[in-house]
Structure 1
Amino acid sequence: MKILVVCQHYKPEPFRIADLCESLVKDGHEVTVVTGVPNYPEGKIYAGYEKKQNRNETLNGVKIHRCFTIPRKSGVFFRVLNYYSFSLSSQHYLSRFEEDFDVVFVYQLSPVMMASGALKYAKKHRKKVVLYCLDLWPESLIAGGIRKNSLIYKIFLHKSRRIYSRADTLLMASQSFESYFRETLKISDHNLQYLPQYAENVFDKIPMHSTHEPPYNFLFAGNIGGMQSVETIVEAARMLSSNEKIKIHVVGSGSEYSRCKALAEGLPNITFYGRQDIEKMPSFYTMADAGLVTMKADPVISLTIPGKVQSYMAAGLPVIGAIDGETVTVVNKANCGICVPSGDAAGLADTMRRLADNPESLVEYGRNARLYYQKTFRKQIFMEHLLKVLTACANSE
């Protein structure tokens, strides 16, 4: 198949979409990606992409075109500019794009407007659109501080409903999304399918611990933004600062990186490493005894499962969370860790302390994590499901 992929973010930005596209190419498909200029999460354009450099390139067999994008920098104003600059520039580019494809695939992160260009192309060329929803709109606005009764929310409710309803198939990264699509967005006549995220193959090749010995290493790996509540981990580290058996490692960057690192200054048991390339991540996962996941207390955020959860489980790491909602459901179902409520630093600290005093439970949770991942989230399962959907849309009239 010839597949047109539209997503505002792509390699070298840290999103799974690149691994997905490269896997499609390895399977013999032709993939073209329309994306933005890389600047996430720090909000600065990556080296090698300034001044219109590398707007067209091919990476590991994937053809890439990067549309004009204003970097997100910091603050709401620049984030809005970032969102709309890609939405408008990709619509302009795709309105004149004449290459023929079998199907259009949208990997929808925030904002939902990143799908607009794909929908325009599909309508003009009479192609089907498969939209994979990872961030639920307009609910994501509430997590960002927009009130539900505000004019902004109402505008984006209409806009989101219009975009989602124009897709031919909606894939959902979380089962909790379905009720929102049907009840709030009133999208009931669409093909809604649950397709949970997978972890890159590098993670399920990491050797599992058969025993655990002090010091016990707890790893947080991923974006450090306002939604991730990494300050909860820092506060837990403060409560554990005299416990020499526990070490915390934070790998990643984002808008809250500097603030969280400053909050941890002077604490002997927590280390910040900044963002690391995925090729370096196995060394951190091999060192870790368990993975940490934290998110803000928010009914919208709780609907999602952070992608790091699948990575931890693939690597056979117990999942230790200060988080609510869908992640708690998965962890409990898999019996692969312990979750306390979002923002509960004392509960998180107590959980780490209890695990350090009972390392046998780390072995059991880790084993359960990998078994559940292989049964439910494995990459092969994801790719087979996605290809079945894409093929059906490509072959339909």
Structure 2
Amino acid sequence: MRILFISQLFDPEYSIKGLALMQRLVAEGHQVEVLTTFPNYPTGKVFDGYSVKFRQVDECGGVRVIRLWSHISHSKSKLSRAWSYLSFTLMALFAALFSQKPDVVYTYHPQSTTGLIGLLMKLFRGVPFITDVQDLWPDALTATGMRKDGFLLRVISRWCALVYKHAAQVVVLSEGFRQALIDRGVPAQKIHLVYNWCPEEQRIATVLEQNANSSQGDGAARFVYAGNLGSAQALTTMIKALGSFDKTELTFTLIGGGVEKEQLKRFVAETGYDNIFFGDYVPAAQIFDVLAAADVLVIHLKDDDLFRITIPSKTQSSMAMGKPILMAVGGEANQLLVEAKGGEVAEPEDQLSIQQAAARLLATRQTWPELGHNARSFYQQRLSMDVNYRKLLTVLAGAAK
């Protein structure tokens, strides 16, 4: 099978369906070509070792990766970010239309704009396409503040419906997403639940082996959040909740970059919390060495109906790390952690609920190794690449037919 994979997000950025997946497809005899841009997420600055060009072609373990120019932006300006998406879409569309004809097009990120490429490839070249729903649009826009009754939102809603209608197969990351699309009229038989996995499984296994003999100390518990510091994460509530503990009980470190980082740092300085700390952005390949030193991993999202049916990618990577987890997302993500018996759950943006969950963890410190073991076992049995790769192969074969 000849597969054209299109994603604005790709390695060395933290891309779940990224280079490791492409190389695995190649190893099983498939031909894979990737259309992407130059790595810059989440800092909005092009990674070291890369410079923006009109076009750059790399061979990565048998995978042909074509990097295309796009406007680089990670600012709060809606126009700037919109141009970032649109510029990549136009460049990738042109490249796709004049590429060697594939058997199937896999449109990944962002799903709504790469869906245009899939539609036009079907229309002009007769190639079926898969759309991978990592963000449920237009719901994701209302969750970050866009008016629900706005004209633009209605346009996007109709556009997404068109993409779903013409896609040969639709991949979703949660059962909640699947049900939401069925409720919108998408045929159930072409919607496939393929859980996301952590693309750094091998790195995590190495880190865990290197730290196998490390033991937990008796000092302050080290709670760590690693990831984007943006509006969707709504981390002010988490800071308030964990900042209410004495620094001898726990410390909370937030690692990463994002549009809300400076605002959060100012909030901590103004409120005087002495157990809250910030770390710089750490590349995906190195973050697990940092997480290995944590006692509890923290996951939080804004309290929104959309997020209650999603599963943030930190769920998979945190479970794979074999650490106890404090999960405050609500809905399906909370249910997975409860099922795994891998930590404590709380309601999102609920300071008291989070404080109580953290207190339960502190009171049962002797169970942390068991909680971590449970989380990792659940990941390997339900969320790993091995398990979900086979599901994805079925989707690809179905689309190509």
TM, length-normalised to structure 2: 0.90
- One-letter identity of the residue aligned with 2:277: T
Measure, in 1, the Cα distance between the counterparts of 2:122 and 2:313. 29
Measure, in 2, the Cα distance between the counterparts of 1:349 and 1:171. 36
1:220 aligns with 2:225: yes
Contact 1:219 1:250 in 2 (8 A): yes
- Per the alignment, residue 238 of structure 1 pairs with 243
- Per the alignment, residue 355 of structure 1 pairs with 361
How far has the Cα of 1:35 moved from its partner?
1.4
1:56 aligns with 2:57: yes
Measure, in 1, the Cα distance between the counterparts of 2:285 and 2:341. 29
Measure, in 1, the Cα distance between the counterparts of 2:189 and 2:7. 22
Given the superposition, is the C-alpha separation of residues 358 and 243 from structure 1 closer, same or farther in structure 2, using an over 3 Å criterion?
A: farther
Contact 2:241 2:351 in 1 (8 A): yes
CA deviations 1:348-391 (Å, max 9, x no partner) are: 23322332232123223212211211211121011111122223
2:277 partner SS? strand
1:12 aligns with 2:12: yes
Measure, in 1, the Cα distance between the counterparts of 2:228 and 2:390. 28
Q: How does 1:204-353 map to 2 (within 5 A)?
A: 204-205=205-206, 206-207=208-209, 212-214=216-218, 215-240=220-245, 242-265=246-269, 267-353=273-359
Given the superposition, is the C-alpha separation of residues 60 and 255 from structure 1 closer, same or farther in structure 2, using an over 3 Å criterion?
A: farther
2:282 partner SS? coil
1:129 aligns with 2:129: yes
How far has the Cα of 1:173 moved from its partner?
0.4
Contact 1:168 1:190 in 2 (8 A): no
- Per the alignment, residue 80 of structure 1 pairs with 82
Unaligned residue ranges in structure 2 (runs of 5+): none
Measure, in 2, the Cα distance between the counterparts of 1:35 and 1:341. 37
Given the superposition, is the C-alpha separation of residues 352 and 305 from structure 1 closer, same or farther in structure 2, using an over 3 Å criterion?
A: same
How far has the Cα of 1:62 moved from its partner?
2.3
How far has the Cα of 1:161 moved from its partner?
0.5
Measure, in 2, the Cα distance between the counterparts of 1:258 and 1:61. 41
How far has the Cα of 1:135 moved from its partner?
0.8
1:287 partner SS? coil
Measure, in 1, the Cα distance between the counterparts of 2:67 and 2:342. 40
Measure, in 2, the Cα distance between the counterparts of 1:68 and 1:78. 15
1:372 partner SS? helix
Contact 2:169 2:398 in 1 (8 A): no
1:141 partner SS? helix
How far has the Cα of 1:34 moved from its partner?
0.8
Select between 171-180 and 46-55 the one with higher mean Cα deviation.
Answer: 46-55
1:197 aligns with 2:189: no
Given the superposition, is the C-alpha separation of residues 278 and 49 from structure 1 closer, same or farther in structure 2, using an over 3 Å criterion?
A: closer
Select between 157-166 and 264-273 the one with higher mean Cα deviation.
Answer: 264-273
Given the superposition, is the C-alpha separation of residues 190 and 357 from structure 1 closer, same or farther in structure 2, using an over 3 Å criterion?
A: closer
- Per the alignment, residue 174 of structure 1 pairs with 174
Measure, in 2, the Cα distance between the counterparts of 1:40 and 1:47. 12
How far has the Cα of 1:123 moved from its partner?
3.6
- One-letter identity of the residue aligned with 2:266: A
- Per the alignment, residue 38 of structure 2 pairs with 37
Question: What is the identity percentage for the equivalent residue pairs of Structure 1 and Structure 2?
Answer: 26
How far has the Cα of 1:111 moved from its partner?
5.2
CA deviations 1:15-38 (Å, max 9, x no partner) are: 223232233334443221111333
Measure, in 1, the Cα distance between the counterparts of 2:34 and 2:318. 28
How far has the Cα of 1:175 moved from its partner?
0.6
Given the superposition, is the C-alpha separation of residues 343 and 382 from structure 1 closer, same or farther in structure 2, using an over 3 Å criterion?
A: same
How far has the Cα of 1:63 moved from its partner?
1.5
2:65 partner SS? strand
Q: How does 1:103-182 map to 2 (within 5 A)?
A: 103-108=104-109, 110=110, 112-182=112-182
How far has the Cα of 1:308 moved from its partner?
0.8
Select between 172-181 and 257-266 the one with higher mean Cα deviation.
Answer: 257-266
Measure, in 2, the Cα distance between the counterparts of 1:166 and 1:286. 44
Contact 1:7 1:115 in 2 (8 A): no
Contact 1:55 1:65 in 2 (8 A): yes
Select between 133-142 and 363-372 the one with higher mean Cα deviation.
Answer: 363-372
Contact 1:11 1:38 in 2 (8 A): yes
Measure, in 1, the Cα distance between the counterparts of 2:54 and 2:274. 43
